[in-house]
Amino acid sequence: MDIAIIGASGYAGGDLMRLIALHPDTELTCATSRKLDGTLVSKDQPHLKGFVDINYTNPDVDKVDADVVFLAVPHTVAMQYAGSLHSRGIKTVDLSADYRLPQPIYEEIYGVSHTAYFEAPYGIPELHRDEVKGSIFVANPGCFPTGAILAAAPVADLARTIIYDSKTGVSGAGDTVSETTHYPNVADNINPYKWTQHRHLPEMQLEISRLGSQASVHFTPHLVPVTRGILTTAHIITERPVTTDEVRRRFEHMYRNEPFIRLQTPKLGHVRGTNFCDIAFEVEEGGRRIVAVSAIDNLMKGAAGQAVQNMNIICGLEETTGLLFPAATP
Amino acid sequence: MDIAIIGASGYAGGDLMRLIALHPDTELTCATSRKLDGTLVSKDQPHLKGFVDINYTNPDVDKVDADVVFLAVPHTVAMQYAGSLHSRGIKTVDLSADYRLPQPIYEEIYGVSHTAYFEAPYGIPELHRDEVKGSIFVANPGCFPTGAILAAAPVADLARTIIYDSKTGVSGAGDTVSETTHYPNVADNINPYKWTQHRHLPEMQLEISRLGSQASVHFTPHLVPVTRGILTTAHIITERPVTTDEVRRRFEHMYRNEPFIRLQTPKLGHVRGTNFCDIAFEVEEGGRRIVAVSAIDNLMKGAAGQAVQNMNIICGLEETTGLLFPAATP
Amino acid sequence: MDIAIIGASGYAGGDLMRLIALHPDTELTCATSRKLDGTLVSKDQPHLKGFVDINYTNPDVDKVDADVVFLAVPHTVAMQYAGSLHSRGIKTVDLSADYRLPQPIYEEIYGVSHTAYFEAPYGIPELHRDEVKGSIFVANPGCFPTGAILAAAPVADLARTIIYDSKTGVSGAGDTVSETTHYPNVADNINPYKWTQHRHLPEMQLEISRLGSQASVHFTPHLVPVTRGILTTAHIITERPVTTDEVRRRFEHMYRNEPFIRLQTPKLGHVRGTNFCDIAFEVEEGGRRIVAVSAIDNLMKGAAGQAVQNMNIICGLEETTGLLFPAATP
Amino acid sequence: MDIAIIGASGYAGGDLMRLIALHPDTELTCATSRKLDGTLVSKDQPHLKGFVDINYTNPDVDKVDADVVFLAVPHTVAMQYAGSLHSRGIKTVDLSADYRLPQPIYEEIYGVSHTAYFEAPYGIPELHRDEVKGSIFVANPGCFPTGAILAAAPVADLARTIIYDSKTGVSGAGDTVSETTHYPNVADNINPYKWTQHRHLPEMQLEISRLGSQASVHFTPHLVPVTRGILTTAHIITERPVTTDEVRRRFEHMYRNEPFIRLQTPKLGHVRGTNFCDIAFEVEEGGRRIVAVSAIDNLMKGAAGQAVQNMNIICGLEETTGLLFPAATP
């Protein structure tokens, strides 16, 4: 299958290209970058030397053609491409936020008008596999929501309050330099940001409520001195006392056939560079708080990896194709 | 004043020696270490070369004499010294856990019998200055409780539930090597531990209740790839909606005269090596969650710094003596 | 092919298992560990869950059977297995130091008697491919020598003096905890060690002289706050002035067909988890010093990756089988 | 004494303000910043809250008045102030490169014309104390040269070739964000730069030759994932075989009365935040190579600390005033 990546020069784009190179059924035929139009990809991303041998291009929206298109561009840019791709029936995985939320919520949270809205499945396959399967356009979830939702999903309906305290690696901020990502500001520090109102919160709230939960959902992210990975600690206050056995059964049941969920102590080093989400939990004495923790690679299960997983599904391939490899640990 | 440090070879001991060297009114006359008896201190801790020129010794408990004694030994070891020091009327700051909790709670949590119990003030001067002032023996608080309690104290009585999600640097684990502190296990990882029942939790619960709060208090610590510092994110679910103004007034009022509390964005780099505790908060829209965050240096305000602060108080010195210096940032 | 790994529980063992799991022609049938005999491998190395489903065993030396055996044990332990494997004609790649040096040099440097000496090719395929091809037993080079030798090989005969200043990640010290690898001792530090006489130096000297060089070779390693990777800066003082063009031609010529050598700016992040060695150089004005720098992953091209490369060669497989994948960068 | 800092908002400026706050004889009366004119210093540098209570200003060059002025501005900017300060007889320590080199070398290396040249002592007090003492304007050395020169000075005249392989923390690049300092580009990497021709090399060459050495001097810096500190490994090829004893005597003699030189294993953590330079050496078997290693804090002995040391000297104060405090280790 021919693959096009719109916005290939960023970190998610880089990991998409890595995965496409490893995938047995795909060939990268188009990698766009406005800024680097004409540059050899492997000159910009030297770790891909020998694996990606094309130049970045900057084609017109309507001329992008491929069997599958990945939109790895910022929100509001994705919607400029999506309409054309959708109407031309081209299979698309959109890594931006543009199709993750109902239009009114999207417009409120992102403060813009949506100029090409249509409904798309929210591409966490573990929760919405059937919807994704029947679609040609998938809204790939945010990195924080992926880890957060998967950590709490099996017990969401037991929760009164869910507080997500997330710790994210710096690659989540992208490859654009800023005060926030200046090494001396990050190293030896733990920096909370958007303490009460991060844009990813509505995705979490929506998905938790779709799981039949009445819980109020809260979220505070922290930037940590790590390059890749998100560890999310879900503090779940329950409506009634729960037991460890009961909770374990729920986790084991929900994820019993999931190829990318591993119920084991979450450690960023164990998922780095991979599409796995490792999850474990502990029930506080008395049964009124569950602490569930998930570890993902923000660029993989949190972006490019899940996008390829979604591509596999909408293309009728085995869902794990090109994605089953372990982390290089330590 | 002559100072003795029992258990000087650890990290807290090292910082105590650094502070004693900087303090205008103190002289270190005794630094004990069972393991390093006879060794020059600055051979073991070369950063103190030129500042500490004595050898470690290993004296009998009853022979330790000084104007002030710091106990920087593990729990259960401190109580072996405390009785003798107390009965001899020697001013003592105990950095261990042995006198922080009422005897029954201590014995349950630490799983040992207390062989020399007496009551001692809990040495967070910001909350118990008067008690400390009238004492000759102070129980220096745990590192996690210090940051956690100070973050929530001004609004504790408004809380229904307080969830402390703490991120601690590795020096909190001491200088003893272990799997936990092996570099490849720490770097690029965020490791939660004792997810629901850390020994420091009862100190937090006790202090929060002493503040007139009915809140249930929960605590999950995480080891982060940082050497010094604890950042504590206090997720405070309130009993009733609160406003930002109301919360601000409470913080400003409680800490208006506190020399070591700074109400500003908490960043580990701004408190590293110092006795400061930087605190800020944000009220979630709707007023039902306060996120209060504190940053301390776990070896300073979380151990040696606060111990010297307590020493200053019980010795009738200006409380800030020898402790007013800014961090070397970045 | 059935694969046995003797000493599978260490870091090199872990990466060998990762690579065997990815390799299309191999199956891991035996992973030994004295300490963890009977333990499920993926319980010890959870990142391999789903990829390695056997238990560690601890068989007698003579009972180890497989198509290929990897010896990932310390020096002096490898020789206990090597004789039996060699005499039984079992293809073997030895990651220890036991067969890298001529017997007298080995015995002097390692201070032990060699009890099962025979000659084995020094397995840097870029320099000794033909010798390796004709063998059933390969001495896999040390991590430092691999990066150091490859950096200078094309210009070794021009050199009067070669000073290798290497910077290694902490995984090179293995998974055994020590003061050296205690996080607070590593983070924010750069620690030189064995300033003038590291055991890997004779491998470098021998290989440089085999390249027809008269140069005196020196080596100082540094431990750096990085988990994986070795960056080696080769300061090469030349016998006569050289030009950039001349040096470039030599590098391009020697490595023109090498699948794992990439002549581009060396960056640890670009080789992490892979078998690549990235090399670049600069000639100082005047032409009397060449600075050549190489980057490898110490556990891959410096250990497990090169071992699999050697396995491919001695088994008559395409040399790159199972090893051609890019790094997950950043 | 009233102190003015021109260019106070950078990292060196920050450390200067920290030191001025700690110094018993100085008061900061002027801190300039073009960009932050009018802003409270402690709003920009919150770790100084409670220690620096003035606003940044942006005065005319000729209106800057104080007992001592520190120029903490980039090269070419310093010379705009220097002429006026010098002619008005105001004691000045210039942290820029503008007065470190003879005019022709300066103009060649920095590619600009010097518009206000005069001679100034090169402010490494350990080598030029008397010259500094008699001056009112001191050229504060570069961070790399300070550590490099001090490491080799005692044996410079024995050297045929000196290769400095330096590893610097990221704060050396300043507080301006860039690709170079973007966290994911630094973490887990060791990045050599300006492999053969860094601007600091001529300072090293000049000082080594002033020590009576004929050695050729070479320098390759590396950016390492550390915030503060420079570790310099000096590989010194000697003209004749030397002995360890001989070299030790030279180090001990040259630095016997130096308050900021400590002859002990250099470790960045032991000098962080301080003005110390820790140095050790090892002689290679055969006596033809000396490896001498120094550790400094690049912002302290490499910038602000040495600047205050120079200020103390030109003001007739005890040289160590305000600078004698140990590092907070770990």
First to last CA, chain A: 34
The yes-or-no verdict on residue A109 having pLDDT over 90 is yes
Mean pLDDT value across residues A123-136: 97
Whether the upstream peptide bond of residue C330 has omega within 30° of 0, thus cis, is yes
Spatial distance between the Cα atoms of C233 and B42, rounded to a whole number of angstroms:
34
Q: What is the pLDDT along chain D (330 residues), one digit of tens a residue?
A: 999 999 999 999 999 999 999 999 999 999 999 999 999 999 999 999 999 999 999 999 889 999 999 999 999 999 999 999 999 999 999 999 999 999 999 999 999 999 999 999 999 999 999 999 999 999 999 999 999 999 999 999 999 999 999 999 999 999 999 999 999 999 999 999 999 999 999 999 999 999 999 999 999 999 999 999 999 999 999 999 999 999 999 999 999 999 999 999 999 999 999 999 999 999 999 999 999 999 999 999 999 999 999 999 999 999 999 999 999 999
Judged by DSSP in three states, B309 sits in helix
Residue of D171, D178, D188 lying closest to A184 (CB–CB) = D171
* Cross-strand bridge partners of residue A293: A233, A280
Q: Can B315 be counted among the known catalytic residues?
A: no
Is residue A163 within 8 A of residue A216, CB to CB? The reply is no
Residue to test with chain A: of B167, B181, B188, most A Cβ within 10 A: B188
Per-chain mean pLDDT for chain A: 97
Q: Give me the pLDDT at residue D317, please.
A: 98
What mean pLDDT, rounded, does chain D reach?
Answer: 97
Is the CB of B179 inside 8 Å of chain C's CB atoms?
yes
CA distances from C175 to A120, A302, B68, C172 (A): 47, 29, 42, 9
Across the interface, do A262 and C50 touch by the CB < 8 Å criterion?
Answer: yes
**What integer pLDDT is reported at residue B62 of this predicted model?**
87
CB contact under 8 A, D184 and A227: yes
Separation in Å, CA of D174 to nearest CA in chain A: 9
Beta-bridge partners for A290: A236, A283
Does A228 contact B268 at a Cβ distance shorter than 8 Å?
Answer: no
- Residues C91, C307 contacting (CB under 8 angstroms): no
Is the CB of B330 less than 8 angstroms away from the CB of D265?
A: no
d(CA C118, CA C99): 8
Q: Quick check: bond before A266 cis, omega within 30? A: no
B-chain residues near A167 (CB < 8 A): 167, 190, 222, 224
Q: Interface pTM (ipTM) of the complex?
A: 0.97
Q: Give exposure, B307-324, as e/b (b: 16+ Cβ within 10 Å).
A: bbbbbbbbeebebebbbb
The pLDDT value given to residue C62: 87
In the predicted model, what is the mean pLDDT of chain B?
97
Residue A27: name the closest of A74, A57, A83, A67 by CA.
Answer: A67
Query: How many residues in total does chain B contain?
Result: 330
Structure tokens at C45: 């190395």
Neighbouring chains of B at 3+ CB pairs within 8 Å? A, C, D
Nearest C-alpha in B relative to A217: B289
Question: What does the pLDDT read at residue D148?
Answer: 98
Closest to B6 measured CA to CA, from B97, B76, B78: B78
Among D residues 193-212, those touching chain C with beta carbons less than 8 Å apart: 195-197
- Chain C interface disruption, residue of A47, A264, A298, most C CBs within 10 A: A47
Tell me the chain D residues in contact with residue A226 when contact means C-beta distances shorter than 8 Å.
187
Q: Which amino acid is at A121?
A: P
Report which of B165, D2, D109 is spatially closest to residue A166, judged by C-alpha positions.
B165
From C191's Cα to the closest Cα of chain B, the distance in A is: 14
pLDDT at residue A266 in the model: 98
Facing residue for D328 by CB, picked from B46, B264, B272: B272
Separation of alpha carbons A321 and C48, rounded Å: 18
A235 interaction partners in chain B (CB closer than 8 Å)? 163, 165, 218, 220, 235
Give the one of C177, C187, C226 whose C-beta lies nearest to B182's C-beta: C177
Torsion of CA D266, D267, D269, D270, to 10 degrees: -30
Within an 8 Å CB–CB cutoff, is residue C328 touching chain B?
A: no
Reply yes or no on whether the pLDDT at A279 is more than 90: yes
| 54-113 of B, contacting A, C-beta below 8 A | none
Rounded CA separation C306/A162 (Å): 48
Residue with tokens 């070779």: C217
Instruction: Assess whether pLDDT exceeds 90 at residue B175.
Output: yes
Assess contact for A188 and D170: CB atoms under 8 A.
no
Dihedral angle sign, alpha carbons of residues C169, C174, C180, C182: positive
Residue D27 half-sphere exposure toward CB, CA atoms < 13 A: 6
- Nearest Cβ partner for B188 among A161, A185, A227: A227
Say how far apart CA A211 and CA C51 lie, in whole Å: 32
B58-96 pLDDT tens trace: 999 889 999 999 999 999 999 999 999 999 999 999 999
Kindly state the average pLDDT of the residues C73-90.
96
How long, in residues, is chain A?
330
CATH code at B2-141+302-314: 3.40.50.720
Architecture of the domain whose range is B144-296: 2-Layer Sandwich (3.30)
| Domains of chain B by residue range | 2-141+302-314, 144-296
Q: Show residues of chain A in contact with B148, CB under 8 Å.
A: none
pLDDT, one tens digit per residue, over D201-243 is: 999 999 999 999 999 999 999 999 999 999 999 999 999 999 9
**What's the number of CA atoms in the CB half-sphere (13 Å) around residue C36?**
18
How far off is chain D from A171, nearest CA to CA, in Å?
A: 6
Contact C21 A326 (CB under 8 A): yes
Report strand pairing: A159-168 vs A216-223: parallel
d(CA B311, CA B320): 10
pLDDT at A61 over 90: no
| Helix, strand and coil percent figures for chain B, each rounded to 5 | 35, 25, 45
**Model pLDDT, residue C229:** 98
Question: Each residue of C308-326: pLDDT tens digit?
Answer: 999 999 999 999 999 999 9
Q: For domain A2-140+303-314, which architecture applies?
A: 3-Layer(aba) Sandwich (3.40)
Which residues in C273-288 are b (16+ Cβ under 10 Å) and which e? bbbbbbbbbbbbeebb
Assess contact for C13 and C31: CB atoms under 8 A.
Answer: yes
Asked if B12 and B171 touch (Cβ cutoff 8 Å), the reply is: no
Of C47, C271, C326, the CB nearest to A327: C47
SS (H, E, C) B229-252: CEEEEEEEEECCCCCHHHHHHHHH
Q: Does C325 touch chain A (CB under 8 A)?
A: yes
What pLDDT, in 10s, does the model give residues D105-123? Answer: 999 999 999 999 999 999 9
The answer, yes or no, to whether residue C61 has pLDDT greater than 90, is: no
pLDDT digits (tens, 9 = 90+) for D128-151: 999 999 999 999 999 999 999 999
What letters, b where the CB count within 10 A reaches 16 and e where it falls short, cover A17-30?
A: bbbbbbbeebebeb
Asked if residue C141 lies in contact with residue C147, where contact means CB atoms within 8 angstroms, the answer is no
Report the chain A residue with the minimal C-alpha distance to residue B169: A188
CA distance B140 to B93: 6
Choose the closest CB to A177 out of D170, D175, D182: D182
Q: How many helices (H) and strands (E) does chain A have?
A: 11, 13
Shortest alpha-carbon distance between residue D112 and chain B (Å)? 31
Partners of residue D226 in chain A, C-beta under 8 Å: 187
Please indicate whether, in this complex, the C-beta atoms of D195 and C222 are within 8 angstroms of each other.
Answer: no
Chains B and C form CB pairs within 8 A to the count of 52
Helix (H, G, I), strand (E, B) or coil at A284: coil
> In the predicted model, what is the mean pLDDT of chain C?
97
Q: Which pLDDT belongs to residue C184?
A: 98
Contact of B287 with chain A, judged by CB distance below 8 Å, is answered with no
Query: Which residues on C lie below 8 Å from A228 (Cβ)?
Result: 328, 330
Residues pairing with D232 in the sheet: D166, D294
Q: Are B281 and B251 in contact (CB under 8 A)?
A: yes
Task: Of B324, A60, B70, give the one whose Cα is nearest residue D18.
Answer: B324
Beta strands in chain A (DSSP E): 2-6, 27-32, 56-57, 68-71, 91-94, 137-139, 159-168, 191-192, 216-223, 230-238, 261-263, 277-283, 289-296
Closest CA to A137 of A115, A123, A120, A116: A120
CB-CB neighbors (< 8 A) of B325 in chain D: 21-22, 325
**What pLDDT sits at residue A62?**
87
Structure token digits, residue C248: 């470039």
Percent of chain A with pLDDT over 70: 100
- Whether C44 has its CB under 8 Å from any CB of chain A: the answer is no
